[in-house]
């Protein structure tokens, strides 16, 4: 890989950094890369000379993310802070916001550039929409003397982890590397289009929590927009058929191995024309308790037979990275109450 880019196609932005450093270095080396990387592989984007050693071959490693969460903000760049919010996520009143901070030499006050509120959406869509709206604003307003780049700051792990994957999803007809259909493809398509047309260097910075006054301000702005709701419309949101999970936490991919299992469906979402994403609670007949909240995929015909809050014994496939419900064996009686 020495002397070659890490990837040579479908990159949002790429720095060729696979070369040998010469001389003695005492400063940190910072690299920002937005590139296509598989779901299970990430690229180290912030490291010191001691980590690189004599040769600067890029290491691929899991657990590191391509959107920078350590590089300090550039005082000469325009900074855009984004956030999204949803009450009763998903499907409740939702909103997003973005606030711009200009570098000192421009002498301009902070400005709210996005204020979007709608009656129903999801937190993930609002976080992503805030970034899209920010990119569109940058394209229309980026005539700032002495400014060569913009840094968009987000606290969304959904945005952070998937920016690098979106180009490969598009190339794969909006499926991930395992074949799973992608949710929110309309917004990811819009994101890629807005990024490619932005007209100035844009870096995405990830931050954790609400530690500074500006992060607290943007958090409040997004919540105000969500609470207000109604003013705008998220036309791409598909609410699906929703009940409430009886298990705390976010639904995770069901660990299939060709087994039978008893499930209680609580949400179905149509993805494209040929597949539904079904979220369900897993019921243990041995303990009489719900053990986890999971998701798998099913054909529209099969999904139509899975009624919310009913119990079913179903058969799954044996492809762990692309779980599917293959057939309904029988309907079974299950409790519709939270575990004691």
Using one digit for the tens of pLDDT, what is the confidence trace for 160-186? 999 999 999 999 999 999 999 999 999
pLDDT tens digits along 276-308: 999 999 999 999 999 999 999 999 999 999 998
What residue ranges in the chain does DSSP mark as E strands? Answer: 29-30, 42-43, 46-47, 60-61, 78-86, 94-101, 111-118, 149-154, 201-206, 241-242, 252-253, 260-271, 275-284, 289-298, 311-316, 325-332
Lowest mean pLDDT among 50-59, 65-74, 147-156, 229-238: 50-59
pLDDT at position 26 over 90: no
Span between the terminal Cα atoms of the chain, in Å? 56
Q: What pLDDT is attached to residue 90?
A: 82
Numbered ranges of CATH 2.40.50.140 in the chain: 241-332
- Residues 6 or more apart whose Cβ sits within 8 Å of residue 326: 314, 315, 316, 317
The DSSP secondary-structure symbol of 163 reads: T
Cα-flanking dihedrals φ and ψ of residue 50, to 5°?
-65, -30
Q: Answer yes or no: CATH 2.102.10.10 is held by domain 78-228.
A: no
Dihedral sign (CA 153, 271, 269, 224):
positive
Numbered ranges of CATH 3.30.420.10 in the chain: 78-228
What does CATH list as the number for 241-332?
A: 2.40.50.140
């Amino acid at each position: 890989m020495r002397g070659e880019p890490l990837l040579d196609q479908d990159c949002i932005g790429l720095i060729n950094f696979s070369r040998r450093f010469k001389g003695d270095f005492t400063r940190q080396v910072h690299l920002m890369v937005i590139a296509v990387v598989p779901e299970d592989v990430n690229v180290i984007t912030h490291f010191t000379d001691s980590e690189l050693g004599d040769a600067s071959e890029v290491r691929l490693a899991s657990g590191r993310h391509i959107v920078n969460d350590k590089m300090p903000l550039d005082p000469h760049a325009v900074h855009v802070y984004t956030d999204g919010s949803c009450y009763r996520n998903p499907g409740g009143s939702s909103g997003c916001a973005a606030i711009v901070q200009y570098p000192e030499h421009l002498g301009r006050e902070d400005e709210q550039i996005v204020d979007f509120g709608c009656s129903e959406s999801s937190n993930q869509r609002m976080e992503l929409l805030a970034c899209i709206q920010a990119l569109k604003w940058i394209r229309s307003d980026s005539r700032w003397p002495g400014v060569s780049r913009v840094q968009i700051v987000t606290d969304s792990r959904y945005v952070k982890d998937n920016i690098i994957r979106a180009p490969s999803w598009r190339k794969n007809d909006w499926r991930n590397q395992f074949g799973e259909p992608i949710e929110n493809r309309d917004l990811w398509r819009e994101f890629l289009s807005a990024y490619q047309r932005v007209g100035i260097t844009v870096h995405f910075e990830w931050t954790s929590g609400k530690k500074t006054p500006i992060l607290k301000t943007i958090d409040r702005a997004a919540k105000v927009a969500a609470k207000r709701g109604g003013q705008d419309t998220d036309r791409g949101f598909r609410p699906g058929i929703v009940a409430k999970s009886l298990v705390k936490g976010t639904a995770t991919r069901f660990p299939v191995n060709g087994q039978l299992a008893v499930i209680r469906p609580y949400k179905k979402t149509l993805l494209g024309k040929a597949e539904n994403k079904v979220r369900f609670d897993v019921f243990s007949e041995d303990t009489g308790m719900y053990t986890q909240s999971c998701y798998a995929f099913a054909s529209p015909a099969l999904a139509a037979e899975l009624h919310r809050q009913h119990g079913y014994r179903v058969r799954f496939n044996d492809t762990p990275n692309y779980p599917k419900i293959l057939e309904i064996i029988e309907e079974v009686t299950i409790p519709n109450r939270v575990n004691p």
